[in-house]
Structure 1
Amino acid sequence: MKVIFGIPKQRRISDEIFQNNYEKYYPIVYKQLYYLVGNNALAEDLTQEIFIQYYHSKNDNIEYLGAWLSKVATNTALNYLRGQKRSLRREDSVLEEYKYIFSIEDEIFRSEEIKTVRRVLSNLSEEQRICLLLKFSGYSYEEIHKATDIPKNNIGQLIARGKKKFQELYKEEGDMNVL
């Protein structure tokens, strides 16, 4: 390890290895983040942040890179969403004073649909929610197991139960909106 001015230089992965892994995993990580945050630009930004973390990681031999990236993506998205939830609470109190009328009905519908899906997802257990999101992001049971430490034999059952519960809650949510 090189030492510069008494500070050890951080090891990085080689540019070639990084580029190959970036091209291989970028679409998968982006898709997972898009499902989690529901915003194209934000998913791209978070994906870039994750690959910057990977590029500067000291561990140049991550054994299961897909699982590592997935876990980092999940944690990054959840941290963002937690912060967003706090921010939304503050904004809601301000917005109560002002009622905005949006002229684009499609945007309103899309926004409400996203909120509904997020609300329904938040009512699932954390394991069901993460397994569903990872599975629909294209991850295999093995990769989900590596990313979450959930026993591989439980993942299929969590996904099936999570899907069923999501459908039930989503239908209930739609019925409540009609009233």
Structure 2
Amino acid sequence: MTEIEAEFIQREENKEVYAALKKIPERDQRIIFLKYSGYSYREIAESLNLEEASIGTYLVRAKKKLKIALDEIKG
């Protein structure tokens, strides 16, 4: 695979992930975004006014919803 082909595939995958993110609830979008932007569970909890102890559970659920949405997009 050439570098151009790899870049094209990556862009297409990014489009699919972005489309899937738009299909899940806003709170789930924000939790995923904050976590993958390097925020700690404590920082995410403070930002979203949630209990720190619950962030792991919220994140797992959000990722499951994202996977379902992504699977729907991919067919």
Please give the range of the TM-score, normalised by the shorter of the 2 chains: 0.7 to 0.9
The yes-or-no answer on 1:107 pairing with 2:7 is yes
Give the TM-score taking structure 1 as reference length.
Answer: 0.36
From 138, 144, 147, the equivalent of 2:38 is: 138
Q: Give the partner amino acid of 1:123.
A: K
Q: Give the secondary-structure state (helix, strand or coil) at the position aligned to 1:138.
A: coil
More helix by share: 2
Partner of 1:165: 65
Q: Give the partner amino acid of 1:155.
A: I
From 47, 52, 56, the equivalent of 1:156 is: 56
Q: Give the partner amino acid of 2:61.
A: R
Q: Note the aligned Cα RMSD (angstroms).
A: 1.8
Q: Give the partner amino acid of 1:147.
A: S
What are the superposed Cα offsets for residues 12-42 of structure 1, whole Å, 9 maximum, x if unpaired?
xxxxxxxxxxxxxxxxxxxxxxxxxxxxxxx
Q: Is the 8 A contact 1:124 1:165 kept in 2?
A: yes
Superposed displacement of residue 111, structure 1: 1.4
Q: Give the partner amino acid of 1:113.
A: E
Partner of 1:121: 21
- The 4+ residue runs of structure 1 with deviation greater than 3 A are none
Number of matched pairs:
71
Superposed displacement of residue 136, structure 1: 2.5
Counterparts of 1:105 and 1:117, CA distance in 2: 18
Which structure: larger Rg?
A: 1
Task: Flag the structure with more relative contact order, 1 or 2, with Cα contacts below 8 A and sequence separation at least 6.
Answer: 2
Q: Among the aligned pairs, what percent are the same residue?
A: 35
Counterparts of 2:54 and 2:9, CA distance in 1: 36
Counterparts of 1:132 and 1:148, CA distance in 2: 12
Counterparts of 2:62 and 2:23, CA distance in 1: 10
Q: Structure 2 stretches of 5 or more lacking a match?
A: none
Superposed displacement of residue 130, structure 1: 0.8
